[in-house]
Amino acid sequence: MNALIVVDLQYDFMPNGSLAVNGGNEIADVLNPIRDIFDLVIFTQEWHPTNHCSFQDIGGPWPVHCVQDSEGAKIDLRLIRENDIIVQKGVNQDVDSYSAFWDNERKHKTNLDEILKQHNIDTVYICGIATDYCVKFTALDACKLGYKTHLLVDACRGVNIDINDVKKAIVDMSTKGVNLSHSSSFSKISLSKLKQLCCLYDETWGEHPESTLEGESVYNFIIEETEKTGNLTLNSFLFI
Ligand SMILES: [Zn+2]
């Protein structure tokens, strides 16, 4: 089973946000056509108290951002849906948390690992903001925890304080076991997802998958599902 982990896709990290990252607003458009292909979708969310140690006015490196309950802390509404899982991080005022698994001092673990294990996830696709900080540390921790880890390179945007930071981060992840992937590799829906979709409609799928593919009911379901989401093309289903 696989999971898409979207890191910190929050308004403060988008153009006009308090800690704007170039192109942060472009990520939803990359992910919307493919998000339904994954077995599970998880969003991480920076959720800082007002006096968080990472803020410049109390000696930290960053401007005030993603304060709990603020507009800037909201996740991009074009991508998130009502029942999506959210894992909050950076909630402790005394320590920052780049990785979505651990805080930077590795004292407190979030519930991300537990959620992945509960859903039998063995493969994760990581993307979001920022390539050279939270995405990188989340991907490296996923590797360390034994998940087969992919970086969806075209669905990430970085801070790039130094001009090569993003490039270095990608090389670093790659040399430490993260596979580099691209959203276009998901133009075909996975067989497991297709089975899941068809199971909703036709209970015979489990035993005779080939025969149900020819069934008119399944075909109609696929068309309906495609039109409803506006994301998956019929070709996605036909070329598995
Ligand atoms: Zn932060």
Q: How far is the CA of 125 from the centre of ligand 1 (A)?
A: 22
Task: Tell me what pLDDT residue 132 has.
Answer: 95
Q: What is the mean pLDDT of each run of 10 residues along the chain (240 residues)?
A: 96 96 95 89 98 95 97 97 94 96 94 97 96 97 96 92 89 90 64 52 42 46 55 40
Q: Which part of the chain has CATH 3.40.50.850?
A: 2-186
Tell me the C-alpha distance between 175 and 172, whole Å. Answer: 5
Catalytic residue ranges: 8, 89, 134
The pLDDT value given to residue 204: 41
Strand partners, 124: 3, 149
| Chain centroid, CA 152 distance in Å | 9
Q: Give per-residue pLDDT as tens, 109-132.
A: 999 999 999 999 999 999 999 999
pLDDT at 118: 97
Q: Which residues partner with 29 through β-bridges?
A: none
Q: What is the pLDDT of residue 66?
A: 98
- Helix (H) or strand (E) holding 211, with range, is helix 209-213
CA of 151 to the centre of ligand 1 (A): 21
The pTM (predicted TM-score) of the whole model is: 0.79
Measured N-to-C along each axis, helices 136-144 and 165-175 cross at an angle, to the nearest 10 degrees, of: 10
Ligand 1 centroid vs 32 CA: distance in angstroms? Answer: 25
Q: How far is the CA of 109 from the centre of ligand 1 (A)?
A: 16
Tens-digit pLDDT profile for residues 93-111: 999 999 999 999 999 999 9
**CA 229 / ligand 1 centre spacing (Å):** 32
CATH node for 2-186: 3.40.50.850
d(CA 86, ligand 1 centre) in Å: 16
Dihedrals phi, psi of 95, to nearest 5 degrees: -145, 140
Ligand 1 center from residue 11 Cα (angstroms): 12
> How many angstroms does the Cα of residue 148 sit away from the middle of ligand 1?
26
